[in-house]
Structure 1
Amino acid sequence: MRAVGNSDLRTFPIALGGNTFGWTSDRAASEMVLDAYAAAGGNFIDTADGYSAWAPGNAGGESETIIGGWLQSRGNRGSMVVATKAGTHPQYQGLAPATVAAAADASLQRLKTDYIDLYYAHFDDPTVPLVDTLTAFEDLRTAGKIRHIGVSNYSPERLAEWVRVAEENGFTQPVALQPHYNLVARRDFEQALAPLARAHGWAVFPFWSMASGFLTGKYRSAADAGASVRGAAAAKYFTEEGFGVIAALDSVAAARGISITTAALAWLLARPGITAALASARTVEQLPDLIAAAETVLTPEETAALDAASASFA
C-alpha cells in the first residue's frame, strides 16, 4: 500500500476508475469488477458525481449509485477508500459554495455513506472566487462529510493560487492531484505539474492512464477507431509516434510475458511521484492485466526503451 500524500490514507497501486459503471458496464458487471478488484487486494475506488451523464438515458450519478449499493451490500465501507468529485453533475454544475454543499450531500446519499475519503474539485470554475470554493470544501471537512481534499484538471497557475489562498485563510491543503498523464501524454504533467506536486507533497493519481484504451494495443491502425465506444477519443494517438509507443510496449510485453496494458501501467507506476494509476475495467476479464502492474517492476533497460519511444510526447 502507498501513502496518499501526507494523509492517513493508504492505497493499492491501481485505483479502480468508476467511469464505466452505469455506462459500458451495467450494475451486475460493475459489481463483478468491484468484487474481483477487492478480492485482489484493491482498496481505492475513484468516481465523480457526473459519471455518466454523457450516456444516452443517464442523468449523472449512476456510477456513485452502483458503488454505494455495492459498499452497502458487501458491508466493506470501512476497508475501502472512496474518492469522488464535485462540479460536473447536471444538477450541480460548477463550484459555487451552495452548489458544492448540495453536490456533496447528493454524492453521500448515492454512495450510501456518511463520509467521502477524498473529495476533488473536478474542474476549475473561474466564475467563482477560489476563496469561496475553498471555504465550501473546508466547511465539508469540518463537518466530517469529507476527510481529505483533492484537485483535478487545474492549471499550474490556479493550483499555485489554491495553495496561496489556503495558506492565507488557514484552510486545509489538498493531499492529492489528479492529472492527465500516460506514455502518450507526458509533457504537461512532467514539465509543469510534477514540480508542484513534489513541492507540496501531493499524491498523484493519473487519469486516462491507458489513453482511452490506446495503450492496451487494441488499436493498430486508423481503421480500428470503431473497435470500441472510446475509439474516437483514442484516435488522436493514431500517428507514427503513437504507434511507435505501441511497438515498444509490444517488445517489452513479449519479453516479459505480460500484456502491453500491464507494461504501460508498470511504466506509469514507476514514474517519480506517482502514487497510484487510475484504470477502469469494463469486465472482470480486463482486471488481471491492471492488477498485474502492481507487482511488475520494469528493468532500467525496459524503462529506457519506453522513455525513448515516448520522448516526442515529453
Structure 2
Amino acid sequence: MQYRRLGRSGLKVSELSFGSWVTYGNQVDTKSAVDCMAAAWDAGVNFFDNAEVYAKGMSETIMGEALKQLGWRRAQMVISTKFFWGINDGPNEKNTLNRKYLMQAIDGSLKRLQLDYVDLVFCHRPDPHTPIEETVYAMSDMITQGKAIYWGTSEWSADEIRAAYEIAERHHLHKPVMEQPQYNLFARERVEREYARLYADIGLGTTIWSPLASGLLTGKYKDGIPADSRAAVKGYEWIAERVTDPAKVAAVEKLRPIASDLGCTISQLALAWCLKNPNVSTVITGASRVSQVHENMKALDVVPKLTAEVVKAVEAATAG
C-alpha cells in the first residue's frame, strides 16, 4: 500500500480506502464490519469513510462499535463523516448546511462513532438555501473546537468550492481541503475537467466514491441482479436501473479480455484505472465480505501494468 497526500495538506491517506455506504446497517452487521475492516487494515488501509445519513446513523454506530472492538491506535486511523441530508425530519435537521444543523450533527456523529473527533468532515451536498459564508464559518469552527481536523465538500461544483475557499481565505478561516466526487470509467467529467484548475490553484484533494459505478464495473450484472448485491437492497432501486443499462453492461464486457490479458478481474482493472489519476488522493472501496476486500486490494498490483496503450484500450471500450 502506498500513501498519498490529501491534496496540498500534509495528511497521508492510503491509495485504497474503505467505505460503509449501503453496506453497513443494510447488508452487514457489526461482526462482518469488524472482519472487513480488519482485512482492509491488514492490507494497509488507514482511511475509513462514513456519513451521518448512511442507514440513518446505523452505519456510524456499527463502525464505532467495530473500531472499539478492533482497538487500533486513534492516531493511526483517518475517519470521516458527512453532513447534509440529516436523520431527522425537523426544518433545521435535514437537507441543510446551516450552522444550527452542523453544530448538532457533528456531536451526534461523534457519539455514534464513539470518537472524540473525526479526521475528515464533508458537506455531503451543496445547500442553495444557506449562504456559503455561514457554512464555511460553521465548518471552520468545527475544526477550531477540535471536533474535526480537515473539512471539505462532496459533489459541489467547482465554482462553489472556489467560493468557499475564497471566503475562508478572506476571513482567515480553515479552508476546504478535499472534495468527494463520484469517479469511474463512466463518470469522468467532474474530476478530469470541471475540477482541473482547482488541483493547482487551491491544492484540492479528492476521496473518490463509486469507482466501480455501484458494482457495474465488476461485470457481475451481465446476467441480471444477484440477490446478495447492493442493487438488490430495498430503497436502492435506482442502483438496479443504473447497473443493468444494456449499453454500459456491453461496454463492461469489452473490458473482460483486457483484464484477462493483465491477469486480473474487471473490478481490479477499474480500480487501478482510477489510481492512475494523480489528482485522486484515495479510492474508496466497499465490501460486504472479506473476500471482496482481498479482491479489491489486489488492484494495487495492476496499476504498474497500465501502460499508455492499455489505458487507451480501456477508455475506448467504455467511451459513451
**Structure 1 residues 194, 306: closer, same or farther in 2, change over 3 A?**
same
Match status 1:279 vs 2:285: yes
Match status 1:18 vs 2:20: yes
**Structure 1 residues 305, 227: closer, same or farther in 2, change over 3 A?**
farther
Partner of 1:301: 309
Distance 1:267 1:234 in 2: 24
- Within-5 A mapping of 1:200-219: 200-219=202-221
Partner of 1:30: 33
Deviations 1:173-193 (A, max 9, x none): 111111111001112332212
Partner of 1:197: 199
- Is the CA contact 1:213–1:234 (under 8 Å) kept in the aligned structure 2? no
Number of corresponding residues: 304
State the TM-score, normalized to the length of structure 2.
0.89
- Within-5 A mapping of 1:36-55: 36-52=39-55
- Within-5 A mapping of 1:252-271: 252-271=258-277
1:173 to 172, 175, 183: 175
Partner of 1:57: none
2:297 to 276, 291, 307: 291
1:235 to 211, 231, 241: 241
- Is the CA contact 1:9–1:81 (under 8 Å) kept in the aligned structure 2? no
Report the secondary structure of 1:218's partner residue: coil
Deviations 1:258-299 (A, max 9, x none): 111110000011023111111110111111121111232222
Q: Which residue type is aligned with residue 65 of structure 2?
A: G
31-40 or 296-305: bigger deviation: 296-305
Report the alpha carbon displacement of residue 244 of structure 1 after superposing the two structures with TM.
4.2
Partner of 1:67: 63
Distance 1:51 1:273 in 2: 26
The alignment's C-alpha RMSD in Å is 1.8
Which 5+ residue runs of structure 1 have no aligned equivalent?
Answer: 53-59
Report the alpha carbon displacement of residue 310 of structure 1 after superposing the two structures with TM.
2.5
Distance 1:247 1:212 in 2: 16
Report the alpha carbon displacement of residue 195 of structure 1 after superposing the two structures with TM.
2.9
- Is the CA contact 2:7–2:199 (under 8 Å) kept in the aligned structure 1? no
Deviations 1:15-34 (A, max 9, x none): 10111111111111111101
Deviations 1:85-106 (A, max 9, x none): 1122223322110110110011
Report the secondary structure of 1:37's partner residue: helix
Identity %: 33
Partner of 1:55: none
Distance 1:145 1:227 in 2: 37
Q: Which residue type is aligned with residue 21 of structure 1?
A: Y
Deviations 1:111-132 (A, max 9, x none): 1111110110111111111111
Distance 2:13 2:117 in 1: 17
Distance 1:234 1:181 in 2: 19
Q: Which residue type is aligned with residue 304 of structure 1?
A: K
Deviations 1:26-75 (A, max 9, x none): 111111101111111111000001111xxxxxxx1111111111222222
Q: Which residue type is aligned with residue 270 of structure 2?
A: A
1:250 to 256, 264, 270: 256
Runs of 4+, deviation exceeding 6 Å: none
Distance 2:109 2:159 in 1: 29
1:80 to 70, 77, 81: 77
Distance 1:171 1:211 in 2: 35
Distance 1:193 1:238 in 2: 29
Q: Which residue type is aligned with residue 216 of structure 2?
A: F
- Is the CA contact 2:30–2:63 (under 8 Å) kept in the aligned structure 1? no
- Is the CA contact 2:219–2:253 (under 8 Å) kept in the aligned structure 1? no
Distance 1:228 1:237 in 2: 11
- Is the CA contact 1:47–1:64 (under 8 Å) kept in the aligned structure 2? yes
